[in-house]
Structure 1
């Protein structure tokens, strides 16, 4: 199935985990999916390991979720900055309410916690935020990728392959 008609929103902020953001963006583009990287502002973002600038296409304030098929939230420490944005949380809630894939890896789960969409669902994350996931009402599962309806979660950079396979499969099914 061709994914050329699909659009995926990738949320980014300073201190993102380079491997998670870059791999997700280019793996989606490899499938000819249109990728829009959105930040809290439209300024380029810096990675946590020294990458000085990754291009941002738009501010999250300008995002219309009805034009996207999924949202991807890479980890690192960027999710702590992203979850402070009311618009980021609204975007995640809107995508979830529409049944569109919401995919997180590593600390990306912080955004779904703050958006209030993990309660009663199975999910995984980096072990450092396991307690946060559980306290938010998620059933924590220590697996490379956990799919619960439209919520697709993963743990760490080593799990990127299975995570992106699950994201692409969800886009093919949509």
Structure 2
């Protein structure tokens, strides 16, 4: 695979209860494209992945969200899972971290329930997005235009609905991270 992301550093923000495949597939694709990837979380040590409602593997955390800044990275990935974004969205530091990517015009990719964090960060007003169906109303209420499509990209914001969409999601995320900053990507 092409090394289009050489010299790029991409953060994955997750905590216990993330949908494992929604972290591992993008992680592998982005790393294969040449990027350095780091798992950022609320706590040190390890976090628990899930396969829908069953426990998955444990993953080593590289950095805690209180020790990093959006300026440390070229892009951000927000995996889904029900518990993961729900826990992250009540953490002010995590929400600020997400919002700062938009303030700095950097690409962000969120899949499934991951867009809940975008709602909390107040960055979806006027944007075209998709998500897991149960997140639809929250996105619409936050001012987004929700569509039922495999993968949606709006000025550096990449969203997808579920694990079945991961091939298109990964391809588009790599493309957006390669492009870099988007002047229209704002908070």
- TM category (shorter chain) comes to over 0.9
Q: Which has the higher strand share?
A: 2
Kindly indicate whether residue 90 of structure 2 is the aligned counterpart of residue 81 of structure 1: no
Q: Which has the higher helix share?
A: 1
Structure 1 contact 96–150 (Cα < 8 Å) conserved: no
The equivalences for 1:8-87 within 5 A come to 8-48=10-50, 49-77=54-82, 78-87=84-93
Unmatched runs of 5 consecutive residues or more in structure 1: none
Residue among 129, 146, 149 paired with 2:152: 146
Kindly indicate whether residue 123 of structure 2 is the aligned counterpart of residue 117 of structure 1: yes
- Normalised by the size of structure 2, how large is the TM-score? 0.90
Give the C-alpha shift of residue 4 in structure 1.
Answer: 1.5
CA distance in 2, matches of 1:27, 1:114: 27
CA distance in 2, matches of 1:52, 1:2: 29
Counterpart secondary structure, 1:94:
helix
Number of equivalences: 174
**Shift in alpha-carbon separation, 1:155–1:7, aligned structure 2, 3 A:** same
**Over 3 Å off, 4+ runs:** none
Q: CA RMSD in A?
A: 1.1
CA distance in 1, matches of 2:6, 2:162: 28
Counterpart secondary structure, 2:114:
helix
Counterpart secondary structure, 2:77:
strand
